[in-house]
Amino acid sequence: MDRASAARALLRWYVDAGVDEAVADGPVDRFRRAAENTSLATSGHSAPARSAPPPVTVIAPAAQPSADEAASAAARLAAGCNSHEELAAAVASFDGCPLKAGARNTVFSDGAPGARLLIIGEAPGRDEDAVGKPFVGRAGQLLDKMLAAIGRSRASDTLISNVVYWRPPGNRAPTQAEIAVCRPFVERLIELTNPAAIMLAGGVPMQALLGVTGIMRARGAWRDLTLASGAQFPALPVFHPAFLLRQPAQKRLAWADLQTLAARLRDA
């Protein structure tokens, strides 16, 4: 294999393994360093003079507030927002969630502000991070089809968001602390939207907002979502569309849950 093909094969292997982010400003030639170390170790001689290694930019982490301090700052900021636009701007300006440092874009919401249906998912993935909108990848396309099946769309009558607004590295699940820091914004979004129904897409938003675990058992049953203000909203946990892509046999149950949701929206 020539060097270019070998490099392409290595990059393909990285992408398949989920490595899709560069973490420094420039490449580090670790092979050259390893070779130098090996020759030093085997020669028994002291290090020969050599030119200085290329500069590596070390980005000192900015001092981060504690999760409690960041959540308090988020709560103050969210409380001062009186419209969807103000809240979107406040989230974009907020630096208290450490996920932001590794993300390309803030991913706040997409769809119709003030919609009667609010969908809350887990976290932006790679596609959402690149575009700056929630649910635009394969799972998002399935979500759009699910909405179309009950005569709804993000273009007209549905608002979509997540429990965190920045992509967790490698698409890992957001931590409890990251969710807690973003929560005041999630709650303010619910208050400002004042939806007739909230669909919780997957176990992560279900646990974050209802304190309930076990999506297999909890899906399809309405629960009250209670905000810090005491306000309550009807919330329906459903399977996450990414789960349905992996387990298409579960679409039968997802269809039943969509009918439950549609009935509530008709009656409300």
CB of 244 to ligand URA, least distance (A): 12
Q: Is residue 155 within 8 Å of residue 258, measured between CB atoms?
A: no
Q: Which is nearer to ligand URA, 195 or 202 (CB)?
A: 202
Q: Which is nearer to ligand URA, 6 or 143 (CB)?
A: 143
Q: Which is nearer to ligand URA, 140 or 195 (CB)?
A: 140
List the one residue out of 238, 243, 180 whose CA is nearest residue 209: 180
Q: How far apart are CA 144 and CA 65, in angstroms?
A: 37
> Where does the chain show beta strands of DSSP type E?
110-111, 117-121, 158-162, 197-201, 223-226, 232-238
User: Which residues lie across from 158 on neighbouring strands?
Assistant: 117
Contact residues for ligand URA (CB under 6 A)?
121-125, 128, 134-135, 139-140, 162, 201, 242
CB of 143 to ligand URA, least distance (A): 8
List the one residue out of 256, 175, 190, 173 whose CA is nearest residue 227: 190
CB of 13 to ligand URA, least distance (A): 25
Nearest residue to ligand URA by CB is: 121
Q: How far apart are CA 123 and CA 126, in angstroms?
A: 10
CB of 64 to ligand URA, least distance (A): 24
**N-term to C-term CA, the chain:** 65
CB of 161 to ligand URA, least distance (A): 8
Q: Which is nearer to ligand URA, 82 or 153 (CB)?
A: 153
Q: Which is nearer to ligand URA, 124 or 184 (CB)?
A: 124
Q: Which is nearer to ligand URA, 139 or 208 (CB)?
A: 139
Q: Which is nearer to ligand URA, 47 or 183 (CB)?
A: 183
User: Which residues lie across from 70 on neighbouring strands?
Assistant: none
> How many other CB atoms are there within 10 angstroms of residue 67's CB atom?
18
CB of 3 to ligand URA, least distance (A): 37
Q: How far apart are CA 174 and CA 238, in angstroms?
A: 19
- Written as one string, the DSSP assignment of 108-163 is --EE-TT-SEEEEES---HHHHHHTSSS-SHHHHHHHHHHHHTT--TTTTEEEEES
CB of 154 to ligand URA, least distance (A): 12
